[in-house]
């Protein structure tokens, strides 16, 4: 059994308090491999941003729990080597069972999400409370994120065909009964790189899909009922069209890609939304650069020569997110 404190990690409690008070959101970047982790840490050290390293259950199966634990330890040491000690959280994204959450906690995770949003309300409450009771009973206090409302879309092992907005009249009861430290809500974000159907969008003059606006009225009502409480947005990639175009230029096919406009995410970050999850944007950035290298240098077979440019582009993207979208730069 490993405590996250042994790895040099922190939980989200104090980070979220500061973020809510300061009007910014902490980046929650998913990672599966070394290059992604390097890019995340480089970007956050250079922008002096706290960061949440997110691991899905699928990523945990892909990368191995022992390797991930030691990569998290390495991330802390790597940040210090780069010259600045930033707060780093290791977080389970979309945990789907009590057993998975416990296993992650006992393997050094400092924060977990238990996603019971697909369950009937009372079952969601019971499952979330069970995870909170265990996580909060530990001497090192692991923070827990719950979810109300369902996001549509597909990303990793999480999928839902239809979305349902969070009901503001449920949030006080849910938080009070479960004891969660933060709450993921549904106000119109969506998983994956096709966050909306074309029929839900309008198109710009050059054919780019323009999504419907986020439901800031729901967010405002939740803030009234839970003043100062940490709110989380999932499915918040912006799906940059420059990466989509590069991928399609070099043989990919990503029709009808559409994300959440960055100006809407910046507006959300100035509210009680203190954690914003970004995964698809990173996948697009890396894939665009890898495809570009393969097309321009068809004789290249050294993984460093295509993963290196992918890592560098990911770092560039995440520095932009910290500075211009989330407002987390300079907050570490």
- 118, 163 in Cβ contact below 8 A? no
Question: Could you give the CA distance from residue 43 to residue 35 in angstroms, rounded to a whole number?
Answer: 12
- 22, 331 in Cβ contact below 8 A? yes
What is the Rg, in whole angstroms, of the alpha carbon atoms belonging to the chain? 19
Question: Could you give the CA distance from residue 215 to residue 250 in angstroms, rounded to a whole number?
Answer: 36
List residues bridging with 55 in a β-sheet.
92
Angle between helices 121-137 and 98-105 (to 10 degrees): 20
How would you classify the pairing of strands 202-203 and 209-210?
A: antiparallel
Question: Could you give the CA distance from residue 327 to residue 232 in angstroms, rounded to a whole number?
Answer: 15
Length of the chain equals: 332
96 is catalytic: no
CB burial readout 272-300, b (16+ within 10 A) else e: bbbbbbbbbbbbbbbbbbbbbbeeeeeee
> Per the residue annotation, which of 93, 115, 181, 279 is the catalytic one?
93
Active-site annotation, residues = 93
């Amino acid at each position: 059994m490993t405590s996250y404190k042994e790895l040099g990690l922190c939980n989200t409690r104090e980070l979220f308090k500061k973020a809510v008070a300061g009007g910014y959101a902490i980046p929650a970047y998913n990672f599966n491999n070394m290059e992604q982790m390097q890019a995340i840490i480089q970007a956050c050290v250079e922008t002096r941003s706290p960061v949440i390293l997110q691991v899905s259950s699928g990523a945990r199966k892909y990368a191995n729990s022992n390797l991930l634990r030691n990569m998290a330890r390495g991330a802390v040491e790597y940040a210090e080597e780069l010259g600045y000690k930033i707060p780093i959280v290791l977080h389970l994204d979309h945990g789907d069972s009590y057993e998975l959450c416990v296993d992650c906690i006992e393997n050094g995770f400092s924060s977990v999400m238990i996603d019971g949003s697909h369950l009937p309300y009372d079952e969601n409450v019971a499952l979330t409370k069970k995870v909170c009771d265990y996580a909060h009973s530990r001497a090192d206090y692991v923070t827990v994120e719950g979810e109300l409302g369902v996001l549509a879309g597909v990303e990793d092992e999480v999928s839902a065909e239809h979305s349902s907005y969070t009901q503001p009249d449920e949030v006080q009861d849910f938080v009070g009964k479960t004891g969660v430290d933060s709450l993921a809500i549904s106000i119109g974000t969506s998983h994956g790189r096709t966050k909306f159907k074309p029929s839900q969008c309008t198109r710009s003059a050059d054919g780019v899909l323009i999504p419907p606006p986020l439901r800031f009225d729901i967010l405002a009502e939740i803030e009234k009922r839970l003043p100062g409480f940490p709110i989380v947005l999932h499915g918040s990639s912006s799906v940059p069209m420059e990466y989509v175009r590069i991928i399609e230029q070099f043989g990919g096919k990503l029709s009808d890609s559409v994300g959440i406009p960055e100006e809407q995410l910046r507006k959300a970050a100035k509210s009680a939304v203190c954690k914003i999850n970004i995964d698809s944007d990173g996948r697009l950035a890396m894939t665009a650069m890898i495809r570009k290298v393969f097309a321009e240098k068809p004789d290249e077979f050294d993984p460093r020569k295509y993963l290196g440019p992918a890592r560098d582009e990911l770092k560039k993207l995440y520095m932009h997110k910290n500075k211009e979208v989330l407002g987390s730069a300079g907050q570490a």
